[in-house]
Structure 1
Amino acid sequence: MPDALPPLREVIAKYELRAKKQLGQNFLLDLNLTSKIARRAGDLAQCDVLEIGPGPGGLTRALLMEGARHVVAIERDARCLPALAEIEAAYPGRLTVLEGDALALDPLPHLTPPIRIVANLPYNVGTELLLRWLTPDTWPPFWQSLTLMFQKEVAERIVAQPGSKAYGRLSILAQWRCDARLAFTLPPQAFTPPPKVSSAVVQLDRLEAPRYPADPQILSDVVARAFNQRRKMLRASLRGLLPDIEEVLTGVGIAPTQRAEEIGLEAFCALARAVAERR
């Protein structure tokens, strides 16, 4: 059911909202697509939703139309605030707009659990935000699920399996603590201005406990070292980890001559546990 607000193209013209490259902005104006993203996040009627980078508010409107209990939107670009204020007025008490940098602002005082995060993430901060959400100090985190749009290449890295070129640190950190799925892709022409690459929406549903036991810091360190030199054999890329790394690798069933992209999540967790025992 459409709301009574004007079409997004009119809103953008009214407030002269040209997307800024330095803010990683690409506006998604098709309300059919923004509604598809909102629906992908599941039943929002009993949830608060955190949105990053709403811009002129296309996804914000879709989240509210799809019944989100309360949306907290963080927007860095002050030019977009009047457009978001119109949405706030149209949905009294259901939208809170916070002006500022999502990397610096704490939205939690404004949110009531259960919380879902749904966002067409600005390209320049998307991966950094995802890594923060995947590596909090305590698990389970404050959010139940993440429904996020990225450049397609980043989305493919999140869901990649061993043996593929896209498989890496992001794949492991996401899949260790979440069910991760690529929901759908969007062509460049869906956006204003069209980016040079396709985009994709990824759905991440948190697990209450990680898939396999491991110390988060050690696992992150092991994986970062392994993939920072992904062309090297593990006995070389992990040399600085422990003096007897070949013995440790063999002990958990990994051949020292294997490369990082050949090793599955379960084996990396076993390696992290073995490293923890030696330290």
Structure 2
Amino acid sequence: MKRNGIRPSKKLSQNFVVNPRLITSILSLTSNEDTIEIGCGIGTLTIFLVNRVRSLACIEYDERMIKIVSNIVRSPRFIPVKGDALTTGVGRPQVVSNLPYHITSDILIMIARDNSISKAVLTLQKEVGERLVAKAGTESYGRLTVIAQLLFNIRITGVYPPSSFIPRPKVESSLVLLERIRDYDKVVEKVEHVTRALFSQRRRNARRVAESRLNISTEVLTRIIPSDKRVFELEPEVFLALAEELANT
């Protein structure tokens, strides 16, 4: 960065991984697949990842970083792409990323909706990692939890301090492995609708909220939702059952 006269952008949440232990852990979770890296930064992970996977395309928003990484990573298997991962699309079975903090949730939803992605190896804020694996009834449990747990097996493989990155973020980070167990389909699309409607009133009685927000009969809601549960106490399977009712009407 000094050689190129570049400072990381706070606006783009640029924190580059420099912890060898974290890089090694990321590599150990990857498969020999065609892979997308979202945000290659200055190439501290990319230079090793390209030798681990079948082919590696990197979607990088910052053109300055594209120039740096293109000079560092010289391999016929490496394709740098200037673009926004939220609009460019992935189209490959494996995603690896040190996710930019300001778009973490949007990227996770994008990954969930893209059935071409069977595995994601992600470094993200510890708090977000805790949300992904949260149990129903806890403070961390929410919309993102439900959608992620219905589509993926999720495992937090390690927690890393701010010193693992340059510049240092203000929070710890988790390394998370997502492995797809279900395709995103019209039912899961309805799950997004159901969770959006119900979690807007997460602490209210779930059946009452559903009666006022969802076009499902009281008889069906009585069968699906326990009478004493609040919204944030419902298991992911309950949201799925509600979505199935909506998808079939």
TM-score, length-scaled by structure 2 = 0.91
1:228 correspondence with 2:214: no
1:140-165: CA deviation from partner (whole Å, max 9, x where unpaired): x1122001111111111111111211
User: Displacement of 1:214 after TM fit?
Assistant: 7.6
Q: Which of residues 39, 54, 59 is equivalent to 2:45?
A: 59
Moved more, 261-270 or 69-78: 261-270
Q: How does 1:1-279 map to 2 (within 5 A)?
A: 12-41=1-30, 43-44=31-32, 47-65=33-51, 67-89=52-74, 92-108=75-91, 115-136=93-114, 141-208=115-182, 215-238=187-210, 239-242=212-215, 244-245=217-218, 247-252=219-224, 254-277=225-248, 279=249
Residues of 1 paired with 2:215 and 2:137: CA distance?
Answer: 25
Q: Which letter maps to 2:133?
A: V
The answer for unaligned runs of 5 or more in structure 2 is none
Shift in Å at residue 64 of structure 1? 2.2
Matched residue SS, 2:87: coil
Letter in 2 for 1:117: V
SS for the counterpart of 1:125 is helix
Conserved 8 A contact 2:198-2:213: no
The Cα shift of 1:176 comes to 0.8
The CA deviation at 1:243 is 6.7
- RMSD, aligned α-carbons: 2.1
Runs of 4+ in 1 over 4 A off after TM superposition: none
Displacement of 1:32 in angstroms is 3.3
Native 8 Å contact 2:61 2:83 kept in 1: yes
What is the distance in 2 between the residues matched to 1:105 and 1:276?
29
Shift in Å, 1:106: 3.6
Q: 1:209 to 1:73 in 2, by over 3 A?
A: closer
Cα distance in structure 2, aligned partners of 1:100 and 1:29: 24
Instruction: Mark the CA change 1:82 to 1:130 in structure 2 (over 3 Å): closer, same or farther.
Output: same
**Residues 11-30 of structure 1 deviation map (CA, whole Å, 9 limit, x = unaligned):** x2212332111001111122
Give a deviation string over 1:89-132, Cα, whole Å, max 9, x none: 2xx20110001211222454xx5xxx210100111122101101
* Residue pair 1:59, 1:119 contacting (<8 A) in 2 also: no
Q: Determine the C-alpha separation between the residues in 2 that align with 1:208 and 1:226.
A: 23
Paired with 1:222 and 1:256, the residues of 2 have a C-alpha distance of: 18
Structure 1 letter corresponding to 2:12: L
